[in-house]
Amino acid sequence: MLVRTNYLSKRYTETDGWKLGPYERDGGYKQAKRALGMKRDDLLTEMRAANIRGRGGAGFPMGVKWGFMPWPPKPEKPHYLVINADEGEPGTFKDRTIMELNPHAVVEGCIIGCFGIGAHAAYIYVRDELHLSKARLWGAIKEARAKGYLGDKPFGLDYPVEVYVHTGAGAYICGEETSLLNSLEGRRGEPRLKPPFPAQAGAFGMPTTVNNLETIATVPLALKLGGEAFSKLSDLHHLKDGGVRLFGVSGHVKTPGVFEAAVGLTLRELVYDLGGGVEHGELLGVIPGGSSCPILRPEETVNAPDAKHVLHPWHGKSVLDVPMGVDTYRALGTMLGTCCAIVLSDKADPVLAFHNLMRFYRHESCGQCTPCREGSAWLNRILTRVVDGKAEMEELDRLHEIANNIMGNTICAFGEGTAMPAMGFIKKFRKELEAFVRPEGQGVDRDARARYFPPSRPAARLATARSGPADPRQEHHEMAASRPSSSQPARSSCWRRPGLHGGRQEPDPRRDGPARHHRRHRGHVPAARRRVPRGDPDPGLRRRGGGALPVRHHAARAERRDRDARTPRGARGSSALGHRPGGRRRPATVGLASAASALQDAEPLRRARSRSVGRELFTEQVVPFQLSGALLLVAVVGAMAVARGKQADPPGAPPPGPCQSRRRSPSPPKEGS
């Protein structure tokens, strides 16, 4: 149920609404003063009753978390309050509005929080890019200190509180609480193993509570209204998910932004009522709370026939009609996260969106745990191949396998944050992924795929508004045409569909650098070096590396295929062995000629393999010939060939000409082959 509220965002539109004056006019800092006069237990009871679920993504009850702190505090172990404002989750932009437009709520929340957990110092960890936010927070701290609300005797009471702003330096992982603590301590922002939990050994080895910035900014409000009254503002009070929170919506909606509403809003209301509806078409999917949450599709329905199930009241309804709560969304198989949704219209390509997100995770993995470091890179690499039209169907399964191997095998939740959206996309957009692999498309409307995206680029949007529909493609073509060097292919755009711009996109050495350019071409052994043309491709499968052959090679292959069809299998010579449809070579185990050809091809092939991108994923064996074995084989092959030459041709054998031409001469591999 949509209930717009105006507690946190009241002064958002006011000029100078972020200053102390307007904040105090609305009753600011009265709760902090009141809290410092309360008993700690009373404050905690109030906070537990308020049912404030952590706003940073995990949704842990804040009051309970405060209660984890050892009590009473030991003088040699000072407690710390750390506020997480390292907002970097794609799609999330709510904390920034609080820091910029309501910073005093944060400072007041810090005072109450410090008292609640027995700390005397609070650090607000703000990401470095948010310069305005930092300035506003420092300004608010300065104003509060000047008024005597911070310092040795806040409000004249004997409970010293200091609040500091600490900056990060551009690492998404520092939004994870333990890596944030490492970063605060001046180390690399790598997550720590838990236990010990921060409540036992956090910042500087002391008991620490880490709260999200919105969570702490909500505290004065909860205290003002009273815990239970605050919780009851929510539609999900019965699920212990209370109060009001900020909802964000971005992507393909008409009015993106941050909106304050009571908890219990549905996704449909967020997208259509607050977000103004889907831009550029129909709704394709929504990522409900920051990119780490698995995507939801509008056609999904809730299946909860069990009357005890959290979602039973919405059984049979669309997932868009389920109230956005921590527990309800967890039951749906996704997460509420930060409550900031990214909307994709059906003009957006989910595969490109998937690729975009995986690039993000690959970039942001801190590299501490192998499954995450390697897995995120693999996911990104395979998706790059998918988007470039070079992937094979089995690689889609590999995507799922890799994501599954990241799950639960990492120190922090970043691994899950990568794997869960990946598995969501693979499960829910399998057809679209397959369409990238299979150019013929299976069950996917090719015309629809060829539709252009994005139409939302600003110039095009303006042009459309002024003079009717404009062709947004023009912009792209103009840009491509005006590239400094026309010999370079147009840079592959994340949002260009392969179907539109001539199928496969050429690698761009300018962007990729020589190394990556090379890597992309690993599968391709130059025709000049290839002693035996690879096997004939099955039309249903993508050939790896074969696509780069000149046209005349394809013609030659077709000719050979015809010949093979005419030739009995046993008499085919090398082409019948060691190859299989799809161009993949299997270990040569039978036949003489095949042994020879395998011998000749083993070395370059193995080299090509060891270099090949993503090939390490494949379980196929490397051709099992070593140099010593090879020499032995040469001798045997030579002897057999002599013996074979003496045999009469079997009756019904094809004319020797073409067959002979295909047969390899059993000589040892040349230098450098």
Partner 1 sequence: MEKTPQVSNEDAAEFTLTADNERELADILSRYPNKQAACIPALHLCQDQNGWVSDAVIAFVAGRLGLSTAHVKGVVTFYTLFNQHPVGQHQVWVCRTLSCALKGADAVLHRCEKKLGIHAGETTKDGKVTLRTAECLASCGTAPMMQVDKDYHENLSLQQVDEILEKLTR
| Minimum CB distance to partner 1 smaller for 80 or for 625 | 80
Find the binder of partner 1 among 57, 61, 113, 189 (CB under 8 A). Answer: 189
State which residue, 372 or 588, has the beta carbon closest to partner 1: 372
Provide the minimum distance between the beta carbon of 267 and partner 1 in the complex, in angstroms, as a whole number: 16
Using the rule CB under 8 A, which residue among 258, 302, 335, 387 binds partner 1? 258
Rounded to a whole number of angstroms, the minimum distance from the CB of residue 141 to partner 1 is 11
Among 101, 100, 200, 109, smallest CA distance to 150 is for 109
> SS in 3 state form for 399-447?
HHHHHHHHCCCCCCCHHHHHHHHHHHHHHHCHHHHHHHHCCCCCCCCHH
Binding to partner 1 (CB under 8 A): which residues in 18-77? none
204: contact with partner 1 by CB under 8 A: yes
Q: Footprint of partner 1 on residues 362-421 (CB under 8 A)?
A: 363-364, 366
Q: Tell me which of 62, 110, 112, 184 binds partner 1, using CB under 8 A.
A: 184
> How big is the CA angle at 150 (ends 147 and 153), to the nearest 5 degrees?
95
Min separation Cβ 488 and partner 1, Å:
10
CA of 6: how far to CAs of 26, 53, 261, in Å?
12, 19, 8
Contact present, 664 and 673 (Cβ < 8 Å):
no
Check residue 194 for interaction with partner 1 (CB under 8 A).
no
Question: The tokens 């397959």 sit on which residue?
Answer: 434
Beta carbon nearer to partner 1, 66 or 123: 123
Nearer to partner 1, 21 or 513 (CB): 513
Q: How far apart are CA 539 and CA 536, in angstroms?
A: 9
Q: Which of 170, 196, 277, 629 binds partner 1 (CB under 8 A)?
A: 170
Q: How far is the CB of 507 from partner 1 (least distance, A)?
A: 15
Is there binding between residue 477 and partner 1 (CB under 8 A)? no
Which one-letter DSSP state was computed for residue 271? I
What dihedral do alpha carbons 431, 437, 443, 448 form, nearest 10°? 90
Which positions from 136 through 165 interact with partner 1, judged by CB under 8 A?
164
Q: CB pairs under 8 A, 24+ apart, for 490-495?
A: 492/388, 494/352, 494/355, 494/356, 494/387, 495/349, 495/352, 495/453, 495/454
In the bound complex, what is the minimum distance in angstroms from residue 275's beta carbon to partner 1? Answer: 10
**According to CB under 8 A, which residues from 501 to 520 bind partner 1?**
510-511
Alpha-carbon distance values, 653 to 562, 563, 646, 648 (Å): 16, 13, 16, 10
- For 1, 11, 322, 412, the CA distances from 235, given in Å and listed in that order, are 7, 25, 11, 32
Residues within window 306-365 making contact with partner 1, judged by CB under 8 A: 340, 342, 344, 348, 353, 356-357, 360, 363-364
- The binder of partner 1 chosen from 346, 475, 512, 603 (CB under 8 A): 475
Closest distance of CB 140 from partner 1, Å = 16
**Where do the DSSP E strands lie in 131-220?**
162-167, 208-212
Q: Is the distance from CB of 271 to CB of 284 less than 8 angstroms?
A: no
What element of type H or E holds 285? strand 283-287
Under rule CB under 8 A, how many of the chain's residues touch partner 1?
73
Per CB under 8 A, 250 contacts partner 1 = yes
Q: Which is nearer to partner 1, 96 or 237 (CB)?
A: 96
Q: Are 419 and 371 in contact (CB under 8 A)?
A: no
Site for partner 1 in 484-503 (CB under 8 A): 484, 491, 493-495
Contacts of partner 1 in 86-125 (CB under 8 A): 87-93, 95-96
